[in-house]
Structure 1
Amino acid sequence: MDRRRFLGAAAVAASGAVALPGIAEVRRGIDAALSGSDAGDLAYLEGAFERHRGGYRGRSPGEVLAEMRGDLDLLRDVLTRPHAAGVRADLARTAAGITGLVAIIQHDRSDQRDAHGWFATAEGAARESGDREMLAWALARHAMVPLNYGAPKAAADLATRARGEAGSKPSAAAALAAAVHARAAASLGDHDSALRSVADARTIAKHLDRTQAADTWFGYPPQKHHVHLSQAFTLLGRTREAYAEQEAALALTRTPSVMTRALLEMDAATCLNVDGDPSAAAGKAAAVWQHLPHAYRNGLVRTRAEALHHALPEAARPHLTEALAS
């Protein structure tokens, strides 16, 4: 190349008049490989899991589910993109958490089939992530679906699997699994197994750190502990212990959630029936139902109220029958 041609080529390169084809795309690709083009979406989804797992906070299940819809769309989109192995594992863990929260809401809304489906999704994501604690949490929460909707044997099996995944280290998942197993065993009439699981839940709960005992759907706070044991002792017919657990749960906060208070009061009504006062039991349950916001009347509280209605003698049913029909 002679000197003039060399200088001309140099001038063109210096002026930028002619760019190499695709050079901008190459730079973006290098940048993405260095920093991760999905970093913003991944960080947002991790924050969404932390935000949503705080519970209802005075909102109805339907309201919370509606708020999560956009995050679910984003999660679906991000999961279809390629990721490095470590990033994919973290994303799978976040997906397990978010889909597990949806399953909890569907459980509370009495959509059993959809709750089972979302929990299956959460369990699959947890397995992909390799996080056994997350898997134990998903299994323990899943166990509450058959537990609360008439299949205690299935609940006991899921809770047992959750205990196995949780291992020996004290965790919210292990405590929840023990408490759910206690309730399932009580429903099955296996009092000895139920009391052993109650003891296990109490022991684990005493050793939880602040994070594990946080008042979220992912934690096992003291109030939740007492709510579970209230139901276990109610099912066992041990009303003195059940009343004590109800009082302990209500004493932990001035403003328990609508659902928490309603479930505890339904337990108290059931205890009245066990103690031989079915009229008072029906009256208390009817009063709880009549003061319940309509958004909470088609889920778990109705299931608990209907179980009491079935257990009442025929003569004591009309008052509660009328309330449930309203």
Structure 2
Amino acid sequence: MKRRNLLRGALAAGLTAPALAALTAARTDVDQTLSPDTPQDLADLEAAAESYGYGYRGKAPTRVLANLATDFTTLRPHLTVPQPAPIRTRLCRTAGQMAGMTAIVLHDLGSRQQSRAWFATAARAAAESGDDQLHAWVLSREAMVPLNYGAPRAAAELADQARLAAGTRPTAAATLAAAVAARAYALNHQPEQARAALSAADALMNRLPQRERSDTWLTYSEQKHHVHLSHAYTTLGDTARAHESQQRALELSAPTSTMTRTLLHIDAAACSHHDGDSEEACRRTVAALSGLPAGYRIGLVRRRAQDLYEAIPAQHRHEPAVRELRNVLAA
């Protein structure tokens, strides 16, 4: 009451300095009861998340991981204070994207436990943001951890959850979920389910809006589609279709996409094994690994090459090409 009377009295004399000071004090009081302003660096963090979505672009995975961790640390304090609902939504969406991409890099480096922990954080952030497509994307990418490290049943369960979260609209997340499910079913010796999921992925890809077809981790490009198809068809032993997807994916992959191109070459080597030429499969795998910088011969790449070696029957392990692959993997 006293402050209101002082304000009224000050304004009665016109827009004098005391009156303006009283007005400022009144506005400040109201501001303090309202939600905070948009964090000044939120737009920068959203732009950083978009930039990380373009992948490694020739940079070592460990360097990308360090940059992601730095920006995620910048983001964290904004989540610990009250925010307007729209700002909180943007913060959670950005946190979900960055945590998911951190998990992807950790997965590629072979740190499965840390990758799963970051995916859990990403899933919580995506759920809080209310973005079903982001949540489906996180689940799909998380499914690739057990998919690539020997647990196809768990991968299929996560991929099924992702498909449910994404719904039936042709979105990047829905297409990715169907493609990952196809790979998991193929590894789990469920060929009918795998082919049904491949058909669903193709149908979604054909209807996917152009804005969701860019070549990033957060969207779903034709290149990415053929990378998934390559692995699914290779696992199914459908080497003709696998080779078609490998060729198309390589055509669409940038020369700096070192890890992706290497995985495609290992898929091609696995096709040679399926077609009965295990020595050629080993030679091609050795060539793929030998052309890599040391920082890339770990994690997912090494696991995929190890899987091929372990698929070689014991009676062929004495052959020179098989022994060479074993030595490269042991180095």
TM over 0.5: yes
Name the amino acid aligned to 2:195. Answer: L
Task: Give the whole-Å Cα distance in 2 for the aligned partners of 1:137 and 1:55.
Answer: 15
* Identity rate, percent: 45
Task: Give the whole-Å Cα distance in 1 for the aligned partners of 2:38 and 2:267.
Answer: 48
Gap regions ≥5 residues in structure 2: 1-8
- The answer (yes or no) to whether the contact 1:103–1:119 under 8 Å persists in 2 is yes
Normalised to the residue count of structure 1, the TM-score between the two structures is 0.90
Q: 1:29 to 1:61 in 2, by over 3 A?
A: farther
- Which among 314, 322, 326 is matched to residue 321 of structure 1? 326
Match status 1:166 vs 2:166: yes
Q: 1:76 to 1:284 in 2, by over 3 A?
A: same
For residues 17-96 of structure 1, the aligned pairs below 5 Å read: 30=30, 36-96=36-96
Q: CA deviation at 1:237?
A: 0.9
Name the amino acid aligned to 2:97. Answer: G
Q: 1:26 to 1:287 in 2, by over 3 A?
A: farther
- The answer (yes or no) to whether the contact 2:72–2:95 under 8 Å persists in 1 is no
What is the CA deviation profile of residues 20-73 of structure 1, one whole-angstrom value per residue up to 9, with x for unaligned ones? 8xx988766655777943431222221121111111111111111111222111
For residues 99-114 of structure 1, the aligned pairs below 5 Å read: 99-114=99-114
Q: 1:284 to 1:78 in 2, by over 3 A?
A: same
Aligned to 1:308: 308
Name the amino acid aligned to 2:112. Answer: Q
Task: Give the whole-Å Cα distance in 2 for the aligned partners of 1:225 and 1:161.
Answer: 20
- The answer (yes or no) to whether the contact 1:146–1:154 under 8 Å persists in 2 is yes
Task: Give the whole-Å Cα distance in 1 for the aligned partners of 2:139 and 2:211.
Answer: 20
1:115 aligned counterpart, secondary structure: helix
Task: Give the whole-Å Cα distance in 2 for the aligned partners of 1:237 and 1:29.
Answer: 70
Task: Give the whole-Å Cα distance in 1 for the aligned partners of 2:308 and 2:268.
Answer: 11
Task: Give the whole-Å Cα distance in 2 for the aligned partners of 1:318 and 1:184.
Answer: 30
Task: Give the whole-Å Cα distance in 2 for the aligned partners of 1:163 and 1:39.
Answer: 34
Q: CA deviation at 1:234?
A: 0.7
- The answer (yes or no) to whether the contact 1:93–1:126 under 8 Å persists in 2 is yes
- The answer (yes or no) to whether the contact 1:283–1:320 under 8 Å persists in 2 is yes
Q: CA deviation at 1:254?
A: 5.3
For residues 240-319 of structure 1, the aligned pairs below 5 Å read: 240-253=240-253, 255=255, 257-313=257-313, 314-316=317-319, 317-319=322-324
- The answer (yes or no) to whether the contact 1:107–1:299 under 8 Å persists in 2 is yes
Name the amino acid aligned to 1:319. Answer: E
Aligned to 2:176: 176
2:41 aligned counterpart, secondary structure: helix
Task: Give the whole-Å Cα distance in 1 for the aligned partners of 2:29 and 2:96.
Answer: 29
Alignment root-mean-square deviation, CA: 2.3
What is the CA deviation profile of residues 168-207 of structure 1, one whole-angstrom value per residue up to 9, with x for unaligned ones? 1101111111111111000011100000011111111111
1:197 aligned counterpart, secondary structure: helix
Aligned pair count reads 313
Q: 1:76 to 1:304 in 2, by over 3 A?
A: same
- The answer (yes or no) to whether the contact 1:183–1:231 under 8 Å persists in 2 is yes
Aligned to 1:197: 197
Task: Give the whole-Å Cα distance in 1 for the aligned partners of 2:106 and 2:255.
Answer: 24
What is the CA deviation profile of residues 92-112 of structure 1, one whole-angstrom value per residue up to 9, with x for unaligned ones? 111111111111111111110
Task: Give the whole-Å Cα distance in 1 for the aligned partners of 2:49 and 2:262.
Answer: 27
Task: Give the whole-Å Cα distance in 2 for the aligned partners of 1:67 and 1:286.
Answer: 32
Structure 1, 252-261 or 284-293: larger mean CA deviation = 252-261
Gap regions ≥5 residues in structure 1: 1-8
Q: 1:189 to 1:325 in 2, by over 3 A?
A: same
Aligned to 1:156: 156
Q: CA deviation at 1:325?
A: 2.3
Aligned to 2:144: 144
